[in-house]
Structure 1
């Protein structure tokens, strides 16, 4: 078993509040793992620690066996740990094609020369085209992001994350706020993500969790309640009681 991402006794305190409490999680390379829990469970705090937004009060984080606990956000991203956001972080007045060209050019060290790259570097445009196709954005590639349907904006954020060539990708509620009619494209895109990319899904939508994840970790009150295969989590009475409640109690996912 090769571990892609691992935490060791991770703790985050805000004064007297313990937001994550002794969390140890191991994510295997190539995994499809979900992180779930009720509101206030500590999911966002944990993800912010993993990505370097918050420094842990104690504990350690390893990416592919290397200690990244003290690395900055951008150094973790360059090392292969990439995330999407629960609330979109996009260039509203740029098109998807332009946004992806910026991301790819920055990744490759072209920096401020991305506009030249957009028009003259064939390899950049080939990669832009491939990502637009992969994330169902061809039809809107030249429209400003601000006017796109919300589902397309969520797909663009996934495309931008993939442009960073992640080895571990954290998807933070990719269908949050997306109308029912636009969700299927996102679900299909997430399901078709490259198998060599390790994916941790943070999500409240149980349809997405149980259709995508092979393993689930459950956070409650800042601590790890349990983790295991989907079928085991679906049958766990503690999970039903504290989080999944009526959906699983009624047998929908059992």
Structure 2
């Protein structure tokens, strides 16, 4: 029996007379590396905003690990195991890598607001942060300030901050945006190596990276799902070639 980590049922979002998300029913299997692709203006980020609670749907449902979360606030969805990154990173430039991730761990366990205690005063949080950095191949940069790092590394730190929330589902909104090609492959190799107990839903425009990373792809066009399937099925789908990928795509 297939287990789904994240689902939508007939999800609709309207802005006045404009339909941004049109009757989207999406199933993301637990443990999947699932990519959401489509041309500019297809509604991908709107859909992510609906999944995370940043936007309220006009109608339809969002289901996380079998529970309906359609009307829960963003922080409530985080507590239930949903985390995301953004197209533009949101890092504390003057903190070190380890300080940044430790602060995120402290926030999750409820001591982040105790600002009178120095970051790192809680040994278990520091150990957890260091372990997470090791998983993401960042431990050797633990004491570097984030502003000094290459952009690809900064994107990985943002992912580390999301993973510090211990999500069961991680939403990545264009993680390679602005990352030089020389760094993007390493970025995706690191993401792909994450444990499969974290389900990943990814938006990405670089089709080479998508086809290397994803085991399932959904195609969104004009706010509606056109089709979904394996990378081979998507690459050879005539409708996908016509509306988005073109004839040159291959895997």
**Does the 8 Å contact 1:33/1:199 carry over to 2?**
yes
Q: Does the 8 A contact of 2:211 with 2:231 survive in 1?
A: yes
Runs of 4+ with >3 A deviation: 113-120
Deviation of 1:200 (Å): 0.7
- Residue 160 of structure 2: aligned partner: 159
1:40 is aligned to: 41
Q: Cα RMSD between the aligned structures?
A: 1.4
Partner of 1:179: 180
Shift, 1:91, TM fit: 1.5
Structure number having the greater helix percentage: 1
The CA deviation at 1:111 is 2.3
TM-score, normalised to structure 2, is 0.95
- Give unpaired runs (5+ residues) of structure 1: none
TM alignment of 1:118-137, pairs within 5 A: 118-137=119-138
Moved more, 238-247 or 224-233: 238-247
Is the 2:82–2:168 contact (alpha carbons within 8 Å) kept by the matching residues of 1? yes
Matched residue, 1:81 = 82
Partner residue, 1:12: 13
Give the CA deviation at 1:95. 1.5
1:142, distance to aligned residue in structure 2 (A)? 2.0
Q: TM-score, normalised by structure 1?
A: 0.94
More deviation, 18-27/179-188:
179-188
Match runs of 1:40-119 below 5 Å: 40-113=41-114, 116=117, 118-119=119-120
For structure 2, which runs of at least 5 residues remain unmatched after alignment? none
In the TM superposition, residue 246 of structure 1 has moved relative to its aligned partner by 4.1
Question: When the two structures are aligned, how many residues end up with a matched partner?
Answer: 250
Evaluate the alpha carbon distance shift between residue 117 and residue 28 of structure 1 in structure 2; reply closer, same or farther with a 3 A threshold.
farther
Q: How big is the shift at 1:115?
A: 6.9
